[in-house]
Amino acid sequence: MLKLISKLQYFVIALLIAGVFTSCSKDDEPMADSKNIVQTAVSDPQFSILVSALQKANLATALEGTGPFTVFAPTNAAFSALFTQLGVSGINDLSAEILTPILLNHVVSGSVKSSDIATGYVNTLNNSGPAQNFIKVYIQKTSSVKVDESNVTTADIMASNGVIHVIDKVIIPASVVNHAINNAGFSTLVQAVLKANLATALSATGPFTVFAPTNEAFAKLFTALGVSGIADLTAEQLTPILLYHVVSGNVTASQVMTGSVPTLKSGSNIAVVVSGANVKLNGNSNVIATDVQGTNGVIHAIDTVLLPS
């Protein structure tokens, strides 16, 4: 079995590349604290709901361990917004089974300070994906820092076993659709999925493997078709094209092999050729990034839109 190795693209960069927080980092290099992450959270009133959630999910002891851990910590206000969204009154209305993957979706292995962060995907400790694969979050650094849909409001609260970054929204584990929504590099794909009314279907249990064209890939398609954008294509035209990019099952990079792969467009297969570190689809589309793991499947980015026969 040949392993698929991704090429890095500007919108998918390894997390541990030198970078800096701009709007949320502290001026001085943070000093280590004698308290561990849980003790630090307990001592700060803005994290009281987070602490209650950790205790209910039986995760407090784990986060008191050696680690190190990086925790993107939602404030009480962030949890209150989540309760409103879910239609519940508080932590008492959520079970440990519901809370555990949500809380682990906020924890990254290693002590990742603000000076170590750059745009890119990173594994969380949430292994609730298909086949217990670890769910990823998307870190976006511009003039501020976002983690999926949440904003980092305070960085580098140091603890003896890691670091806490305060965020303003609870990070719900992302489906393949939400992963695409969270990354501006897939904005045209999102427009197409919405216009074709496929968002609900692709948010279902699945699992799905999505070969996701980048914005640049769609721009090439528009040029070839002589149109200006998604607005010039109908839902009927988009639907078979989009379904042709989806394969049943959670096929990770290490499972990709040369062969003909059936898609969700009935009767249409993708020709996959693995050659060393390169993977080509239908002879003209290159896989440029892999293994963006979601709750209901995995995304691999491609540089050319695939067109069914």
Residue 33 is predicted with a pLDDT of: 67
Predicted local distance difference test score (pLDDT) of residue 18: 33
- What does the alpha-carbon distance between residue 40 and residue 285 come to, in Å, rounded to a whole number? 49
| Dist CA 91 CA 57 (whole Å) | 10
List C-alpha distances in Å: 98 to 57, 76, 103, 136.
9, 18, 9, 18
pLDDT in tens, the chain (309 residues): 333 334 333 333 333 333 333 344 444 444 446 899 999 999 999 999 999 999 999 999 999 999 999 999 999 999 999 999 999 999 999 999 999 999 999 999 999 998 899 899 999 999 999 999 999 999 998 888 999 999 999 999 999 999 999 999 999 999 999 999 999 999 999 999 999 999 999 999 999 999 999 999 999 999 999 999 999 999 999 999 999 999 999 999 999 999 999 999 999 999 999 998 889 999 999 999 999 999 999 999 999 999 998
How far is 217 from 125, CA to CA, in rounded Å?
32
Instruction: Locate 231 and state its tokens.
Output: 């607005």
The CA distances from residue 168 to 46, 81, 154, 171, 172, in Å, are 11, 9, 10, 9, 13
Phi–psi pair at 117, nearest 5 degrees: -105, 140
pLDDT of residue 151: 97
Q: What's the chain's Rg over C-alpha atoms?
A: 21
Q: What domains are defined for the chain? A: 37-167 (2.30.180.10), 176-302 (2.30.180.10)
| Pairwise CA distance, residues 70 & 48, whole Å | 18
Give the pLDDT confidence score for residue 21 in this predicted structure. Answer: 38
Q: What is the pLDDT of residue 277?
A: 80
